[in-house]
Amino acid sequence: MSRFNNRIEQMPPSGIRKFFDLVLDAKDIISLGVGEPDFVTPWHVRERVFFSLEQGRTSYTSNWGLMELRRETAKYLKDRFAVSYDAEQIMITVGVSEAVDIALRTILNEGDEVILPEPTYVCYRPLAELAGAKAVAVSNPSFKITADDIEKAVTPRSRVIILSYPSNPTGYTIARAEIEKIAEIARKHDLWIISDEIYAELTYEKEHYSIAAAPGMKDRVILLNGFSKAFAMTGWRLGYIAASDDFLEQAVKIHQYAALCAPIMAQYAALESLQRGMGEMEEMKKSYWRRRNYMFEALNKIGMTVERPEGAFYIFPSIECSKLSSEEFALGLLEKQRVAVIPGNVFGLGGEGRVRICYAIDFELLKESVARMERFIKSL
C-alpha cells in the first residue's frame, strides 16, 4: 500500500517548473520561461514595508485580512473595473494561487465537473482533481472560447466554469459580448464562475471587462485577483477573493485552517500599491506593450506565426514551421541555442504545436532570443 495520497501520487508536477529548474543554474541561457515581471516592486512599496516593520507590525491579522486593505481593494475594483463589492466581501489570500484552491474546494463535491477552457494556466486542473472533481477541457482553434463551446460541455454534473482572461499562456482575451453570453449560460444551468483576473490591468487595446460586472452575476461569480503581475509583486504572495457573503462564509474556513492569514508585511505592501495610484503600474504596462509589439512582428517574420496577443505578457506562437512537437522544440532550442520557452502542451488541450514565450525580459535579450530562435529553425 502506498504511503501517500492517491490523487497526489497520480498528479504530474508542473510542466513550467520543470523548465524553470532546468535553467535555474545556467548563466548563458536566455529564459523566456517564467511568467514574472522583470521589474522589482516599486521603491515606495518596499519603503512602506520597512516603516511597518519599524513600527513592529509583525503579527497575524484577521483571517480576512486588514480591514483597510479590504476597503481599498473594494474601492479599486469599483474604480478600475466597475464591479461593486463591500469591503466585507473581500478576503485577502496568499496569492491568487491560494484563492484558486479555496474557490474550488469551497464549491466542489466528489464527481462534479469543472468546465475548463484550455490551453490555460496550469493550476486549475490539478487543484480541481484534488478536490475530487473532474476537469472537462474545452478548446477553440482561435483560442477565443465562445459561449457555444462552453455550452456544449455542460452536463448535469457541471458545477463551475473557470475563466482566466487575459489568458496565460495565449495573451488573448474574450470580448464583452461573449462574456455576457457565458454569463447567460451560467445562469441558465445554475453554474458558478471562477474568474481569475490576475492580468486584468495588463490589457493593451481593449479595456478589461469582468464577468462580475455582468447583470445578475454577482452571486455566482468568484472573482480572483492579486498583486503579483500588474504591481510587480510576485514574491510577496498576495491576492484576494471577491464574492458573495454565503460563499465567503464557507471559504474563510479553509483559509483560516490552512493559512490563517496572508503575511502582514505583504498586506501593507499591497495597501501602499493601491493607495499610491496606478502611475508606476501604467509605466510598466507601457513597457510590456512595446515588447509585445516587437515580439508579435519579430516572431511572424521568422515563421513562428501568431496573432497579436491582447494582454498579459505572453505570446503563444505556432511552431509548425519546425515540424517538431512543442516538447521537442523547447528541448532542442534550450540545448542548441540556450533559450528557454515552455512547450504549449503543458497548458492542456489545444496547446500542442505552440510554445509559450514570456516577453517580460530586457529588450536586448529579447532581440537576441529571436535571433537564436531563427538560427534554431534554420538549422532544422
Q: Give the interface with ligand PLP as residue ranges (CB under 6 A).
A: 35, 95-97, 121, 164, 168, 196, 198, 226, 228, 234, 239
Which is closer to ligand PLP, CB of 163 or CB of 373?
163
**Which residue has the CB atom at the shortest distance from ligand PLP?**
95
Shortest spacing between CB 1 and ligand PLP, in angstroms:
34
Q: Which three cell numbers stand for residue 294?
A: 516587437
**Alpha carbon of 41 to those of 37, 75, 96, 266: distances in Å?**
9, 22, 18, 11
Which is closer to ligand PLP, CB of 313 or CB of 329?
313
Shortest spacing between CB 263 and ligand PLP, in angstroms:
13
Q: Which three cell numbers stand for residue 202?
A: 495588463
Cβ-proximal residues to 3 (8 Å cutoff; 6+ apart), any chain: none
Which is closer to ligand PLP, CB of 233 or CB of 295?
233
Shortest spacing between CB 236 and ligand PLP, in angstroms:
9
- For the chain, helix (H) and strand (E) counts, in that order, are 13, 12
Residue 364's H or E segment, with its range, is helix 363-378
Cβ-proximal residues to 25 (8 Å cutoff; 6+ apart), any chain: none
Shortest spacing between CB 335 and ligand PLP, in angstroms:
25
Which is closer to ligand PLP, CB of 42 or CB of 376?
42
20 by DSSP, 3-state: which? helix
Among residues 217, 107, 89, which one has the least CA distance to residue 160?
Answer: 107
Shortest spacing between CB 191 and ligand PLP, in angstroms:
20
Q: Give the torsion through C-alpha atoms of 227, 230, 235, 236, to 10 deg.
A: -30
Residue 79: CB atoms within 10 A of its CB come to 10
Which is closer to ligand PLP, CB of 23 or CB of 96?
96
Which is closer to ligand PLP, CB of 229 or CB of 322?
229
**Alpha carbon of 238 to those of 69, 128, 228, 231, 354: distances in Å?**
11, 21, 7, 11, 31
Which is closer to ligand PLP, CB of 216 or CB of 235?
235
Q: How far apart are CA 185 and CA 59, in angstroms?
A: 44
Shortest spacing between CB 6 and ligand PLP, in angstroms:
26
Which is closer to ligand PLP, CB of 151 or CB of 196?
196
Shortest spacing between CB 324 and ligand PLP, in angstroms:
25
Do you find a cis peptide bond into 309, omega within 30 degrees of 0? no
138 by DSSP, 3-state: which? strand
343 by DSSP, 3-state: which? strand
Which is closer to ligand PLP, CB of 196 or CB of 201?
196
Among residues 314, 83, 35, which one has the least CA distance to residue 179?
Answer: 83
Shortest spacing between CB 94 and ligand PLP, in angstroms:
8
Shortest spacing between CB 62 and ligand PLP, in angstroms:
20
The residue written with cell numbers 548563458 in the block is 28
